[in-house]
């Protein structure tokens, strides 16, 4: 009795490629599409790239009060007041209980303005505040305890005959000096000295 032979399945690469489902999708959606076609489920939607949002502008870093002090100090060293005027920084504040106690015993007054200007027998003071301080206090009308002490000290200095101004920038400091008659040097002291030497040599 003859036995019929069944043909062996074709396992060639061409046959395997022919049995594959024609999937036209991205690599991330291949698995979902294959499962949908196998089980008769509707074709899933392929996620689209989200719309690009506008880049947020990075705000410029705020200029601190310490940085403004350094700018003013640099200007005083390079140019600063002219004539016989003298301008210097008052370091009246101390950090820590021990430093404050020692400073008080030495006669250091607290709440004094930051800068002192002496010119023509008159004394002036400039209190430097962080940019936006004047606008904030005008809007809220509130002051910290330390600020109230500073304002009280400024009133005492005015009653004693000194002029006092509150500034936030170097430009405001220069405007205050001009307003009270303090001359400003347009050239550095070194350049003025060199000009005098050359003039005398001629």
Q: Tens digits of per-residue pLDDT, 167-200?
A: 999 999 999 999 999 999 887 666 666 777 777 7
Number of C-beta neighbours around residue 117 at 10 A: 24
CB 178 within 8 A of CB 80: no
The stretch 16-24 carries a mean pLDDT of 52
Q: At residue 24, does pLDDT exceed 70?
A: no
Provide the β-strand partners of residue 116.
88, 125
Helix count (H) and strand count (E) of the chain? 8, 4
pLDDT in tens, 100-128: 788 778 888 888 999 999 999 999 999 99
pLDDT in tens, 131-169: 999 999 999 999 999 999 999 999 999 999 999 999 999
Q: At residue 21, does pLDDT exceed 50?
A: no
| Structural domains of the chain, ranges and CATH numbers in brackets | 65-201 (3.40.1350.10)
Q: Return the pLDDT at 198.
A: 76
Looking at every residue in the chain, the average pLDDT score rounds to 80
CA gap 75, 185 in Å, rounded: 10
The stretch 46-71 carries a mean pLDDT of 77
Residues in CB range of 184: below 8 A, 6 or more apart = 79, 80, 81, 82, 174, 177, 178
Give me the residue label for tokens 């089980």: 39
Q: Return the pLDDT at 167.
A: 97
């Amino acid at each position: 009795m003859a036995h019929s032979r069944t043909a062996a399945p074709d396992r060639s690469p061409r046959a395997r490629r022919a049995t594959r489902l024609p999937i036209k999708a991205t690599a991330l959606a291949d698995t979902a599409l294959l499962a949908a076609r196998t089980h008769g489920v509707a074709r899933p939607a392929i996620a689209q790239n989200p719309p690009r949002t506008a880049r947020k502008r990075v705000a410029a870093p705020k200029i601190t009060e310490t940085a403004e002090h350094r700018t003013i100090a640099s200007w005083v060293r390079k140019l600063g007041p002219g004539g016989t005027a003298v301008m210097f920084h008052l370091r009246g504040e101390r950090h820590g209980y021990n430093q404050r106690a020692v400073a008080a015993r030495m006669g250091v007054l607290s709440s004094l303005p930051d800068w002192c200007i002496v010119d023509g027998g008159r004394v002036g003071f400039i209190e430097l505040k962080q940019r936006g301080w004047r606008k904030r206090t005008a809007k809220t009308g509130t002051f910290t305890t330390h600020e109230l002490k500073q304002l009280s000290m400024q009133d005492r200095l005015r009653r004693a005959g000194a002029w006092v101004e509150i500034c936030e920038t170097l430009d405001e400091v220069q405007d205050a000096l001009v307003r009270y008659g303090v001359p400003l040097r347009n050239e550095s002291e070194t350049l003025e000295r060199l000009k005098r030497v050359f003039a005398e040599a001629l």
